[in-house]
């Protein structure tokens, strides 16, 4: 497991993290996933109050922060845009200073990247970017974790993003792929290519990591891709542009014909979700065996939990069996294989709360908080 020491830091974009730190977050997410699958709850976030500010709607991100915090003993509090004074009656700076006096960590999803940055600057506690118009960095961690699960090492893989090449996902993928040595091809009409300054910055990361960031208007560029990725054609806040985008992006739909153009049957299909089926992706591809979108969705939780634990959590040793990685594929967290005897109690007693290891020592342990 890569070394990770990022306690006290905010998570605003992947720009602020080294490839080793990103790898370390992914490794931690893998361990936390194993821990959860074994039914083990931790206490790394015990008594931590966590504010979840949402200016835009969310299913995955909101639930990932909520469940991830609770699994490790934290107390998440949802603050919807109409629940607090942020930015309307009270400035972002003042809101940040108030929340920083009460909460130990703050998640923000909304429009401006400058808002999440101001929250970090003025609150004095770790702030996590749950999506802005410009970046969606926690999504990239889930995407990379899912790639590792399905494709192995990240370095050298060919990753094709089709669609709005200048949205928060494309921007964040440029940073993330550049840092991790993944070859990224953004396939989009030229008017939807990203800001040149960001491209130049990300090409610098890629050069250091030994990969490339390329652009194409032709879907032929998907040849040999390991990953085909798409996102909605009009992001939250851009609803008025939906018709214009559809006209521009219709040729870039991910459909069976496009998947065939990769020339590989091992290519995986990814999407941050939510998806508008029939627009950026067909139902056929979305539901195909190549689609890993629900693994990605699940991994939002494990990776977001890793971000909270690494930046805010108090040290708690990972249980030895998780460190050793002895996690069999067919492990059933509630079945406690090898613990059939009376010393392990009745099935009702075994689940859902177990306060100490069973006599045979190889069952799940769930600590009561
Ligand atoms: N992928 C993602 O961020 O999903 P939500 O908008 O549901 O949070
Ligand atoms: N680009 C999309 C991502 C949603 C997770 C949006 O901002 O709406």
**pLDDT tens figures, 158-196:** 999 999 999 999 999 999 999 999 999 999 999 999 999
Task: Classify the C-alpha dihedral 20-171-31-73 as positive or negative.
Answer: positive
Is the pLDDT assigned to residue 30 strictly greater than 60?
A: yes
Q: How far is CA 254 from CA 60, 69, 162, 231, in A?
A: 22, 35, 8, 10
> Where does the pLDDT of residue 82 fall: very low under 50, low under 70, confident under 90, or very high at 90 and above?
confident
Q: Which residues pair with 129 in a beta bridge?
A: 108
What's the pLDDT score for residue 154? 98
So what's the pLDDT on residue 331? Answer: 53
Task: Give the distance (Å) from ligand 2 centre to CA of residue 170.
Answer: 10
Q: Is 300 noted as a catalytic residue in this protein?
A: yes
pLDDT tens, 255-304?
999 999 999 999 999 999 999 999 999 999 999 999 999 999 999 999 99
Angstrom distance (rounded) from CA 80 to CA 86 = 10
339 C-alpha to ligand 1 centroid (Å):
39
What is the whole-number distance in angstroms between the Cα of residue 356 and the centre of ligand 2?
A: 43
* Alpha helices for 46-195 (secondary structure H): 60-71, 92-102, 113-123, 137-151, 168-180
Q: Are 256 and 283 in contact (CB under 8 A)?
A: no
- With vertex at residue 303, the alpha carbon angle to CA 147 and CA 291, rounded to the nearest 5 degrees, is 35
Q: Return the SS3 of 342.
A: helix
pLDDT digits (tens, 9 = 90+) for 246-255: 999 999 999 9
- Torsion angle of C-alpha atoms 205, 208, 209, 210, degrees rounded to 10: 120
Please name which of 40, 154, 52 lies closest in space to residue 99, comparing C-alpha atoms: 52
For a ligand 2 pocket test, name from 63, 130, 136, 164 the mutation site with the most ligand atoms within 8 angstroms of its C-beta.
136
Q: So what's the pLDDT on residue 32? A: 97
Locate tokens 């370095």: which residue?
155
Closest residue by CA, ligand 1 atom 4: 60
Helices in the chain by DSSP H: which ranges? 19-37, 60-71, 92-102, 113-123, 137-151, 168-180, 196-209, 242-249, 256-260, 283-286, 293-312, 320-323, 347-350
> Does ligand 2 have an atom closer than 6 angstroms to the CB of 134?
no
Query: Closest ligand to 235 CA?
Result: 2
Tokens of 44: 């790394």
């Amino acid at each position: 497991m890569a070394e990770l020491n990022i306690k006290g830091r905010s998570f605003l974009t992947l720009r602020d993290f080294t490839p080793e730190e990103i790898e370390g977050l992914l490794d931690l997410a893998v361990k936390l996933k194993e821990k959860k699958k074994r039914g083990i709850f931790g206490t790394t976030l015990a008594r931590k109050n966590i504010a979840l500010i949402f200016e835009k709607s969310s299913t995955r991100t909101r639930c990932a922060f909520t469940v991830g915090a609770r699994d490790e003993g934290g107390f998440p509090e949802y603050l919807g845009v109409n629940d607090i004074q942020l930015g309307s009656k009270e400035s972002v700076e003042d809101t940040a200073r108030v929340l920083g006096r009460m909460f130990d960590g703050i998640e923000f999803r909304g429009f401006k990247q400058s808002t999440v940055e101001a929250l970090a600057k003025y609150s004095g506690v770790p702030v996590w970017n749950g999506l802005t118009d410009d970046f969606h960095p926690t999504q990239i961690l889930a995407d990379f974790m899912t790639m590792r699960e399905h494709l192995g090492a990240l370095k050298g893989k060919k990753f094709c993003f089709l669609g709005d090449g200048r949205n928060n996902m494309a921007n964040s993928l440029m940073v993330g792929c550049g840092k991790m040595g993944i070859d990224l091809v953004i396939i989009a009409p030229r008017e939807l290519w990203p800001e040149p300054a960001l491209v130049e910055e990300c090409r610098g990361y890629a050069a250091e990591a030994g990969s490339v960031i390329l652009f194409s208007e032709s879907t032929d560029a998907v040849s040999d891709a390991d990953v085909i990725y798409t996102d909605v054609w009009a992001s939250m806040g851009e609803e008025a542009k939906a018709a214009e985008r559809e006209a521009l992006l219709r040729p870039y739909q991910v459909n069976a014909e496009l998947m065939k153009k990769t020339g590989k049957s091992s290519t995986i299909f990814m999407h941050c979700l939510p998806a508008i089926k029939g627009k950026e992706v067909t139902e056929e591809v979305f539901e195909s065996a190549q689609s890993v979108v629900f693994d990605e969705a699940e991994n939002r939780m494990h990776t977001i939990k890793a971000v909270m634990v690494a930046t805010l959590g108090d040290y708690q040793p990972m249980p030895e069996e998780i460190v050793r990685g002895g996690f069999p594929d067919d492990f059933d967290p509630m079945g406690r294989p090898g613990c059939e005897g009376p010393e392990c109690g009745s099935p009702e007693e075994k689940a859902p709360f177990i306060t100490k290891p069973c006599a045979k020592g190889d069952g799940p342990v769930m600590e009561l908080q």
